[in-house]
Structure 1
Amino acid sequence: MKYILTLAILCSLGLAANAQTTNPDYNKSLADSLGADNYGMKQYVLVILKTGSNTTTDKEKLNQYFRGHMENINRLVKEGKLIVAGPLGKNDKTYRGIFILDVKTVVEAQKLVETDPAVRAKIFDVELYPWYGSAALPLYLDTAKKISKENP
């Protein structure tokens, strides 16, 4: 009897752990258009920009690299490849900023970051990691356009 009771408890726990509920607000066409899986998620690539090996102090060269860096960011956003970008605060790891790229593989992401003049010039080095996040992430960009008083 004790064995049967224990088995019944374990089975009920297993069933409870496997129970899933359907989202009443689910929008299949929206999910499909964003490439969402059943959990509303998808694969991206996280890029960490770090201080690179180029330690030039030539202000004109640095301005040229950073101008090209910002132009490249804007181009990748327009192409729908760059979803998030921004600098990081000071830290002891020499991390300077992040990108989240809307691509499935690190190889695809590597090709995109190599289009950045600051990366090519070794002002920035990069680390790339597969990242699984909300497929709705790209939707915030339209709102961001509406709340930015000035463009960088």
Structure 2
Amino acid sequence: MLRLFLVLMLIPMAGSAQTESPGNAYNKSLADSLGADEYGMRMYQFVILKTGDSTITDKEKVATLFKGHMENIGKLVAAKQLIIAGPFAKNPQQYRGLYIFTTKTQEAAEALLATDPAVKSGLLKAEIYGWYGSAALPLYLPFHQQIEKSKH
């Protein structure tokens, strides 16, 4: 009977131990440095890159434009203006890839897209949407650099 009593007394403590974690403490300076609102979120610009209207048949020119596209991605990441970029698998909508820019306005995203040779040439075109996501999203980039064995 004493054992049953002790077990019943420990059950509420076990539940509270699971819900309280020292890693869940609010860090105001981190939240402020990331531009987080009270929910830990912020606005970004989500860009879907689609196949553009331009048809360039010169394979060398296309290769040069896409090499510039990749170099531009690197520059935007280094400048902390781009935090997500990557291609889509083949699909019927002709979605080619996506960007998530740290900019807060569509106009700022358009200015960044104007620096992309593949977009400027019309090989790619962009759809831009405001997107509300975790302000901590940029923090994954240093970890990605640690697991990236080779550059594009």
With structure 1 as the length reference, what TM-score do the two structures score? 0.84
2:74 is aligned with 1:41: no
Within a 5 Å distance, the mapping from 1:13-28 to structure 2 comes to 25-28=25-28
The separation in 1 between residues aligned to 2:125 and 2:68, in whole angstroms, is: 16
Unaligned runs of 5+ in 2: 1-22
Give the secondary-structure state (helix, strand or coil) at the position aligned to 1:70. helix
* 1:4 match: none
* 1:20 match: none
When residues 93 and 33 of structure 1 are mapped into structure 2, their CA distance, relative to the original with a 3 A threshold, is same
2:33 is aligned with 1:55: no
Deviation at 1:120, TM superposition (A): 0.3
The separation in 1 between residues aligned to 2:57 and 2:83, in whole angstroms, is: 31
The separation in 2 between residues aligned to 1:137 and 1:48, in whole angstroms, is: 18
* 1:66 match: 66
Q: Per-residue displacement from partner, 1:5-52 (whole Å, max 9, x unpaired)? A: xxxxxxxxxxxxxxxxxx951000000000000000000000000000
User: Following superposition, which runs of at least 4 residues in structure 1 exceed 3 angstroms of deviation?
Assistant: none
* 2:139 match: 139
2:84 is aligned with 1:84: yes
With structure 2 as the length reference, what TM-score do the two structures score? 0.84
The separation in 2 between residues aligned to 1:51 and 1:24, in whole angstroms, is: 43
* 1:101 match: 101
The separation in 2 between residues aligned to 1:49 and 1:104, in whole angstroms, is: 18
Deviation at 1:55, TM superposition (A): 1.6
Which amino acid in 2 is paired with 1:40? G
* 1:31 match: 31
Percent identity, aligned pairs only, is 55
When residues 52 and 24 of structure 1 are mapped into structure 2, their CA distance, relative to the original with a 3 A threshold, is closer
Unaligned runs of 5+ in 1: 1-22
The separation in 1 between residues aligned to 2:110 and 2:147, in whole angstroms, is: 31
Deviation at 1:57, TM superposition (A): 2.2
Give the secondary-structure state (helix, strand or coil) at the position aligned to 1:60. helix
Aligned-residue RMSD, C-alpha: 1.1
How many residues are paired up?
130
